[in-house]
Amino acid sequence: MKTEVVVIGGGATGAGVFRDLALRGLEVVLLEKADLTSGTSGRNHGLLHSGARYAVYDPDSARECFQENALIKKIAAPCLEETGGFFLSLPEDPPEYADTLLRACHSLGIPAKEVAVADVLHQETKLSPRVKRAIWVPDASVDPFRLIRANIEAGENLGGRVFLHRQVVEIFTARGKVTGVKAIDPRTGEEFKIQCHFLINAAGVWAGEIARLAGINLGILFSKGSLVVFNQRLVNAVINRCRPPANGDIFVPHGPTLILGTTSQTVAQVDDPFPEIEEVDLLLGEGEKMIPQTKETRVIRAYAGIRPLLGAREAEREAGPETPNASEADGRRLSRDFLLVNHGAQDQLRGFFSICGGKLTTYRLMAEKTVDAVMDEIGRKESCRTAEIPLPFPWEYSFHALEKKLLKIAQIPSANVPQEIVCECELVSKKEILQEVGKLGIFSLKELQERTRAGMGPCQGGFCAPRLTALLLETGKITAAEALTILKNFLEERWKGIRPVLWGPQLREEQLIQALYTEFFNLDRF
């Protein structure tokens, strides 16, 4: 196969680069070693940053976030919710930080404003009455799964091609220039070769691995962040703690759920991150200081994501050998900005670019800068249009649509409701599932879940996974033998998220679900 550009990585950055390249008329192929969003893009808070969180310590990132926040609200409105956000000071927080934050935001043009605590407590009744000061910022929440798929669909509509389960294992070069890549299907070992003129490394925390295939060292360290998900929103705005960044200092309402994050721990291993029970305890202990009711609220899942720490090696060098874990101590203070490397200029390998770091919020800007660099190299002038053209959301999709969905269900004759609603927690209908099944290239429950939110509610797919599998089977998309593997793969992944939060009602429900699968379906015998 031949193409002009190969993009490695099906996360936010790769998807953004893919769409931008296609919009500027380049022939592009995206290779992803697993499913879309299987890296950090599927393991974050889903916060569309206003920039305020970085205003004090990382003003460049803050400025970029603020600009992109406004643009993403324009081009991707159906997959976000304009929740707004508050920074709240508790009595134990540094009293001067609220003023420092306000000054930093204003100097960057972020419209932060102090609001009366009584008004905030009236609006958000579950907040702690210990709040001393409150600052409003234009934070929002975003569905990363839909955002990324919309970028992919936009690129595909323009002729771009996406291949999932294609892991790049070799980079071909000749006379100081990239000429192609070899990829394998990790499930079968089958090999694929693609010739290209340009190669974009958007492999997130694996970007260093990709660069090493070309003999280049990117020198990135990693930090793991763990998060927990509650089964109800409790608040309708993003809630940040008004103090220097620390553990458990942010709540993001996400659809019908609430996400609490995060921890920051330097790690060497980037594959398959999982939260430790101690991290869950730490998050819950901090979180209840802002929202006391979280103590009694059901936690339905925990998960972890890895971020690359840019500048970590420099920080370690500056701290000296007597501070061996400088990057751990300062992980939150290191830049959350992005790194774009033209390896032609830096490493004498023309046609090869690496883009990593940054945030989900800044994915579009990162893509724009990357494609600008490619266009410069080619000597073509098409300018970026991703900030103006709205992303496609193919069916009547809206994030946090439970209320609307309830109204629709009220119109279905009650006898038909059980046949119509496949996922009761998220009120996902059979029609929505079938619409998405028709478009799937790869048949996995994770893919269906991320496209429709089916299985993302309190039972975490425990009850609807067999129904989703049956629908895939009924439509002839999978065979009976495949159905069992698909269901088991989903349950194994699901278990990883549920294991660290098994107590109270979640434990009771899990025992019921386990009995259902083992005693009724006999799934453990297959």
Ligand X SMILES: Cc1cc2nc3c(=O)[nH]c(=O)nc-3n(C[C@H](O)[C@H](O)[C@H](O)COP(=O)(O)OP(=O)(O)OC[C@H]3O[C@@H](n4cnc5c(N)ncnc54)[C@H](O)[C@@H]3O)c2cc1C
For ligand X, the binding residues (CB under 6 A) are 8-14, 31-34, 38-41, 44-47, 49, 167-168, 202-206, 210, 225, 227, 261-262, 305-307, 356, 358-361
Nearest to ligand X of 46, 351 (CB atom): 46
Distance of closest approach, residue 481 Cβ to ligand X, in angstroms:
27
Distance of closest approach, residue 430 Cβ to ligand X, in angstroms:
30
Nearest to 460 by CA among 419, 417, 490, 430: 490
Nearest to ligand X of 32, 432 (CB atom): 32
Nearest to ligand X of 185, 482 (CB atom): 185
Distance of closest approach, residue 12 Cβ to ligand X, in angstroms:
4
Distance of closest approach, residue 363 Cβ to ligand X, in angstroms:
7
Separation between Cα atoms, residue 292 and residue 296, nearest integer Å: 8
Phi–psi pair at 232, nearest 5 degrees: -145, 165
366, two tokens: 């990162």
Distance of closest approach, residue 260 Cβ to ligand X, in angstroms:
11
Would the CA dihedral through 339, 340, 346, 350 be positive or negative?
A: positive
Distance of closest approach, residue 338 Cβ to ligand X, in angstroms:
8
Q: How far apart are the first and last CA of the chain?
A: 39
Distance of closest approach, residue 358 Cβ to ligand X, in angstroms:
5
455, two tokens: 């299985």
Cβ neighbours for 95, distance < 8 A, ≥ 6 positions apart: 89, 132
Nearest to ligand X of 338, 490 (CB atom): 338
Distance of closest approach, residue 355 Cβ to ligand X, in angstroms:
7
Residue carrying the six token digits 């009293």: 95
Amino acid at the residue 218: L
Nearest to ligand X of 170, 474 (CB atom): 170
**Do 497 and 510 form a contact (C-beta atoms < 8 A)?**
no
Nearest to ligand X of 11, 462 (CB atom): 11
- Residue 216's alpha-carbon distances to 140, 377, 493, in angstroms, are 38, 20, 34
Nearest to 88 by CA among 64, 45, 122, 117: 117
Separation between Cα atoms, residue 399 and residue 189, nearest integer Å: 38
Nearest to ligand X of 59, 292 (CB atom): 59
Distance of closest approach, residue 263 Cβ to ligand X, in angstroms:
8
Nearest to ligand X of 176, 186 (CB atom): 186
Distance of closest approach, residue 40 Cβ to ligand X, in angstroms:
4
Nearest to ligand X of 43, 133 (CB atom): 43
396, two tokens: 């009547």
Amino acid at the residue 156: E
Nearest to ligand X of 168, 471 (CB atom): 168
Distance of closest approach, residue 364 Cβ to ligand X, in angstroms:
11
3-state secondary structure of 179: strand
Separation between Cα atoms, residue 353 and residue 341, nearest integer Å: 6
45, two tokens: 């808070």
Nearest to ligand X of 117, 168 (CB atom): 168
Residue carrying the six token digits 């975003």: 142
Helix (H) or strand (E) holding 113: strand 113-115
Separation between Cα atoms, residue 23 and residue 17, nearest integer Å: 10
3-state secondary structure of 264: coil
Nearest to 441 by CA among 38, 35, 160: 35
String of DSSP letters for 468-520? HHHHHHHTTSS-HHHHHHHHHHHHHHHHHHHGGG-SHHHHHHHHHHHHIIIII
Nearest to ligand X of 202, 427 (CB atom): 202
Distance of closest approach, residue 11 Cβ to ligand X, in angstroms:
2
Sheet holding 28-31, edge to edge: 161-163, 28-31, 5-8, 198-201, 352-357, 338-342
DSSP 48: E
Distance of closest approach, residue 167 Cβ to ligand X, in angstroms:
4
Nearest to ligand X of 362, 429 (CB atom): 362
